[in-house]
Amino acid sequence: MDGSSENPFRLYRNTDTRWIAGVCAGIADYLGVGPGLVRVIAVACLALFFVPTALGYVVLALVLRPRPAALFRDRGEEAFWRGVATDPPETVQALRRKFRDLDERIMRMETLVTSEEFELRRGFRDLGR
């Protein structure tokens, strides 16, 4: 996120891909599924439970805020936060792998910088100045 107070885990109305008010598209974004699936379920619920479904849709259309245009900086950040929401253990494992790789790189740099060869090379380099 770009330092704003917008929460990527919050349920928003998606007005970019909306058909009516963006409630189904927002729910689809939140759950990480296609909006068509949510729309089909909504229509089925309308057929079976018209009043509660219609009332729920209207309430959500009035209560939910529209999704901010800049909720994520790029697709990579959006994929990361979607992974956090849909598969937290895998996201934690990926972060652990990344930090382990960074830690190994730092250890190799520390070994190089603290070695006698590094000091010797720096001494020779400084002689030429």
pLDDT in tens, 31-52: 878 888 989 999 999 999 999 9
Report the chain's mean pLDDT, rounded to a whole number.
82
d(CA 119, CA 125): 10
d(CA 23, CA 28): 9
Residue 3: predicted pLDDT: 45
Q: Give the pair of three-digit tokens for residue 51.
A: 């009043």
- pTM reported for the whole predicted model: 0.55
Residues 6+ positions from 45 with CB-CB distance below 8 Å: 53
- Residues 60-78: what's their mean pLDDT? 79
Residue 71: predicted pLDDT: 74
Q: Which amino acid is present at 58?
A: V
Angle at 13 between CA 7 and CA 14, to 5 degrees: 95
